[in-house]
Chains A and B, each alone.
Chain A
Amino acid sequence: MTKLTNLTLAEARDGLKAGDFSAVELTKAHIDAMEKHKDLNAFITETPELALEQAQASDAKIKSGDAGAMEGLPIAMKDLFCTEGVRTTAASRILDNFIPPYESTVSGNLKKAGAVMLGKTNLDEFAMGSANITSNFGAVKNPWGENVGKDLVPGGSSGGSAAAVAGGLALAATGTDTGGSIRQPASFSGIVGLKPTYGRCSRWGIVAFASSLDQAGPMTKTVRDAAIMLQSMAGYDVHDSTSARVDLPNFEAALSGDIKGLKIGIPKEYKVDGMPQEILELWKKGEEMLKDAGGEVVDVSLPHTKYALATYYIVAPAEASSNLARYDGVRYGHRAEGELKSLDDLYMKTRAQGFGEEVQRRIMIGTYVLSAGYYDAYYAKAQKIRTLIAQDFEKAYEQCDVILTPTCPSEAFGIGENEDDPVKMYLNDVFTVPTSLAGLPGISVPTGLSASGLPLGLQLIGRPFDEETVLRTADVLEKAAAFSAKPKMLEA
């Protein structure tokens, strides 16, 4: 029999239903794997006792025929989702003692569907980063590191979630994506990562980074698993005024395997200077695979692509500076120690001690671009270019149904690399940021290996609220690519 930790979410679901194993057995297998691979540092807080309690309850429900859609399936929760009674840190010192008295809508939805929570996964502090190196709880190691004999980043910000799924510590995990934080780590770690349309999942109870961009989504081993998990995460929520009042389709049913006549757009602007040849080749291969499956390839143009990253690095820090103003050392979280002379002194010392370097940098950039005299030159300008970027996509979708691009301009890099220059680090998100600015659904599918033997992903981008086409195409791409390579650590 396959090791329980090697199962997909769909296989585990079916196995539980058939009575091949219990939810407690399945959960125990993952708790053992977590114990064995603590060196990955994928979790900030582990909740094995809670997980076993939930698994026992799930076994009872399965027995009584009362099982939810995710019943008894052990998953990991990014430590950005507030979980009632379980510490939620956003990987920041400023929240290192915060125990939410309430549950986020998405984690609550998963709980209601019967999912078992193994623990809270590591991330870049406040989800600000692309390598999971800004966490107050230390860097996360990519499970693929052993394959090339060095410590690699798992990508970020959802790096702990990516490592947990790729390393077989959890069947699946939640992520959040503001500029690529689900898709980029999925590409670096050889798993599937789906950022739904803005508004598809409620943001209520997710520690806010940039509210007009933040969106929760599944990180899974397969496209089918992503469809299953999204079904339980998504839906309108009265607590989030930006959550969409749209019908929830059956995402798994969308995986028909049929993309005949579907128009696949290839945006020429994504052929950026200095992109490795192997990524260009993989992209071409992906195009061929979809063509062979009956898709029609069309060239499209997204002319403002080159301005997306700079636009993002005005809009996101501006929103972050406003969102993070709430951390003041008064109501919850860290408060500065020592003698405090005034309320301003309390704020300034608390925030200097509580926020890491990258978070401080982004708060200050955001404060500057919103400040009197600079607002129009920076923030208003960026908001206008954001409109142009969204219009680019609208025009492209007059010619095609889904867009195919690489997910990232590189494979996973070593821990310690790209740290000398913030702008260099930001370039990781060059292909994922435009989708976020336009609020569109995007998925990363592991499609091939680099010359050094590391996973590379391709991205599919869809129309607003058309996750069905995205998932259907991704499923076809996944089957054609037949990506079967695994991190060496899974062989032991």
Chain B
Amino acid sequence: MTSHIQTIIDPPEDGHFRNGVATDGLIPSPTTLSLNLAINGRDHALDVEPRVTLLDALRERLHLTGTKKGCDQGQCGACTVHVDGERVLACLTLAALVDGRTITTIEGLADEDGTLHAVQAAFLEQDAFQCGYCTPGQIMSAVACIREGHAGSDDEIREYMAGNLCRCGAYPNIVAAVRQAAQELR
């Protein structure tokens, strides 16, 4: 059974929910949710189980594989995307949670004409990646890091980019790229 997100608006007076969700006070059974996710300026309709994360929705259902799965546990940063302009981890975010919010992934960062974002261009110039797998997360994190005002010094960049692990060891070049992009965007 597929349903839209049920919002409990009115407090039940008698222990019974209205809105047809759980009128007998019992827990509603799991259903497939119909979601509408606003990603990179486009609306994506999607029917998924409530437990599906934003990360798996992007990669497995919407074929937006630029957002990477490194740990699936909130411990590496490879799945970093922006929700309402702030960097978050897609692996610990239910897709249902962000229905109604604005999502940006690496695929939506460059201009529509292909012009790279200043952070992307700086990553290329500074060779701020090797295998490229953590890179979309690093770039999304870096864009937010600069926007937050946390790119004021190399030490601040290191601290505020610490949530994105890079096993190839591109860290010094990532710092250089963020520093460069922050100056360009100032």
Q: Do A and B come from one complex?
A: no
Q: Which residues of A contact B (CB under 8 A)?
A: none
Q: Which residues of B contact A (CB under 8 A)?
A: none
